[in-house]
Chain A
């Protein structure tokens, strides 16, 4: 009972949403599945991006370079796959490029105490520069990552076709959220990470190596950004476009705040964004309501603002976020 008492609002919201989703499903299964699939399809990179932010900010490092890390991941992944004609190698290359970008952020801000916002902006600018400059048109990859059905789970009505009949990275995103939630709140690494992000000098006194932990976390978080990029260029599509991250890295930051720096809530927030976008295009395409499409397209953002305004008062950022740690300072 105590868990339920502590989590009345999130648990209640989840229940209401689930009931509403199934009501929609039984009213019109075809439209419901296609819309929820679309929502998840759009949410995957946002979820992965938000997880990069969760790890970084929980350890005290703001990462506004997620957008750039994602773009480089998409670029490196796609062109590695095109060169080797292997999507698998492409995904690995995407993840490795993410690590490189993560390491850049980690070493400049944690070791060098460069302003974290500046480092993030540099990542975004450099990413746009490199990926535009070295872009070559006409390259192809053998075929994108295939979709597959997860045994049993894909048979569940609604949830099955939406979450368990997608490609490997979409499934990975779902798993990593749960794993990260567990790691962050149930393991020693998680406790230390949170301590380092909340009150680094106390953590330092307790014998935690703040610098080393921050370096490790921020660098490894880059992997997820790289994989999010690989999702864009090899799972969602089979192509690379200049600027194809299209602000998803920044949206991921909004989702991170909306999700109160918690993996599971960030997942819910990303799904909410995805569903709002799916609803807007559905209203546009079906022509059921005769209002200008600009107005319909505005709805997700307006609704998001409303929900954010309602939720924002309740969330609090990790205490030491944005501040470099200097031992003995």
Chain B
């Protein structure tokens, strides 16, 4: 067999070129102009760097919410800059760009970057690291890392409470990604919340079976939602990234969407992120990422930040088009529950 080596080389080179697209950067100097960036190693300027999870900084999701939290600090003596990660392999390299320039605080977004963040923190003990949605385990963390975490169970509880009040069939569904602590907490909260407001209701719950693509398998999520709806569920809570979004999209396509079939988004206000779910999306179980990031960065700036975990707020996103369709008594009851969850008088067991 006569192989032609250039035919191997050309596609392989193409693959390498595509795989090698590390990340794009953008900076926001506080004065708005493209003035030369100040030296971050000096004490005069406080430099904040943000490394996104795979995705862009305007993804209307975690990356954007965290970046808005960073931008809130812009002003005198603060310089901010972000790096968009194109591939999970580049986490460490992107972090290195900031650590090499001696940034004062670095925000990393997403569960997946937890390990890279702690590794970078260990070799740069003078830099403060904030890991958004990264739970810090006592054994595997560094003193200069703070994990911004959210009580998913509370957000799920509020969503379940609202669904329990509004369901007509007493059957609710939840479509989740992989079975990991955050999704388990959403499911637990949702089940308890719906039981609290409607003891007759029952929840059908499915986790994605495979590990690798458990959060990007939207067709699977759609199929599960379709099955639940056919079996009488009238509320679908999609809590698992793309997989959950697939479930929302399917509920939105089902006849009766918006009048007898409803869906609830997760993590951020999904009215902005999943436009195809508009026909059924009453609200989203939301993590208040922007506020949490700003709070932690303010602490980092004045030096009061502590290592370990910082618990941010959760709540329900605005109702948007459904604002007029949701009964007033449901709104007041739900608002009351959200408040109780926030001040800690109501605890999800």
Contact = CB atoms under 8 A, between A and B. Distances in A.
B249 interface: yes
B179 to A, nearest CB: 7
B21 A133 contact: yes
A247 B4 CA distance: 30
B234 interface: no
Interface stretch (B133-141, B148-156, B202-210): B202-210
Contact of B219 (A112, A236, A326, A329): A236
Interface stretch (A11-19, A27-35, A152-160, A194-202): A27-35
Interface string B80-94: 000000110000000
Contacts of B275: 138, 140
B250 interface: yes
Contact of A239 (B12, B15, B19, B274): B274
A126 B14 contact: yes
A324 B173 CA distance: 51
A210 to B, nearest CB: 15
A304 interface: no
Interface in B1-35: 1-4, 7-8, 11-12, 14-15, 18-19, 21
Kindly state the interface size class of chain B when it binds its partner. Answer: 35 or more
B126 interface: no
A114 B231 contact: no
B61 A42 contact: no
A178 B94 CA distance: 52
A72 to B, nearest CB: 12
A319 interface: no
A168 interface: no
Interface stretch (B95-103, B220-228, B284-292, B323-331): B220-228
B55 A137 contact: yes
A282 B205 CA distance: 9
Contact of B60 (A138, A278, A280): A138
Given A108-B11, A122-B12, A326 B61 contact: no
A238 interface: yes
Most buried by A among B11, B58, B231: B11
Contacts of A244: 213, 216-219, 242
Most buried by A among B4, B7, B249, B273: B7
B306 interface: no
Contacts of A238: 249, 253, 276
Contacts of A277: 209
Contact of B276 (A112, A122, A239): A239
Given A45-B219, A113-B4, A237 B230 contact: no
A122 B16 CA distance: 10
A282 B246 CA distance: 18
Interface residues of A, number: 58
Contact of A114 (B7, B86, B205, B273): B7
A268 B274 CA distance: 35
B300 to A, nearest CB: 29
Interface string B250-277: 1001000000000000000000011110
B198 interface: no
Contacts of B4: 112-114
A164 to B, nearest CB: 16
A242 interface: yes
Given A41-B223, A239-B218, A246-B213, 8 more contacts: A37-B226, A38-B226, A129-B15, A239-B242, A246-B212, A246-B220, A247-B210, A282-B227
The 8 residue pairs across chains A and B that have the minimum distance between CB atoms: A129-B18, A241-B242, A34-B230, A297-B209, A246-B213, A285-B204, A236-B219, A112-B7
Interface of B: 1-4, 7-8, 11-12, 14-15, 18-19, 21, 54-56, 58-61, 86-87, 173, 179, 204-207, 209-210, 212-213, 216-224, 226-228, 230-232, 241-242, 245-246, 249-250, 253, 273-276
29 contacts: A38-B227, A41-B226, A42-B223, A113-B7, A114-B8, A114-B11, A119-B11, A122-B11, A122-B15, A125-B18, A130-B18, A133-B18, A137-B60, A138-B59, A138-B275, A140-B275, A237-B221, A239-B246, A241-B242, A243-B213, A243-B216, A244-B218, A246-B217, A246-B219, A246-B220, A277-B209, A281-B206, A284-B206, A287-B205
